[in-house]
Amino acid sequence: MIYSLDKLNEMADGDNDFINSVVSVFLEEVPEDLGLLEKAIESRDYEPTYQLAHKIKPNVDLLGMEQTRAAAYEIESLGKQQGDFNEIDKIFKTLKVDVEQVVVELKNDFNL
């Protein structure tokens, strides 16, 4: 398991509906944003690369995905600084694998 509900549980303070809502939003938004990020990277378009990585970052952070948050931050920084897209590509591969794995785990763990 590469995610943790610790932060979310602390924020929810026992409110399971809140936790389910955050998980549902994650499952709806993050895979879509990931697909858009992949297209932006393939197009070598810095602005959406930076913006989408920035948007993904707090979502993975809420689920305690530290490695994934760090990858999103690196992509965000490289996009903002118009860095090397070959480096962005490498980092994105890790980000994508992590997000796809967590999507499967969340669907199983939350029976969605």
User: What are the residue ranges spanned by the domains of the chain?
Assistant: 6-109
Q: Decide if pLDDT at 1 tops 70.
A: no
Cα dist. 96→10, 15, 21, 35, 48 in Å?
27, 30, 22, 9, 16
Fold annotation for 6-109 = Four Helix Bundle (Hemerythrin (Met), subunit A) (1.20.120)
* Mean residue pLDDT across the chain: 96
Choose among 35, 27, 28: nearest CA to 52.
35
Q: What is the pLDDT of residues 9-25, one digit of tens each?
A: 999 999 999 999 999 99
Q: What is the pLDDT of residues 73-108, one digit of tens each?
A: 999 999 999 999 999 999 999 999 999 999 999 999
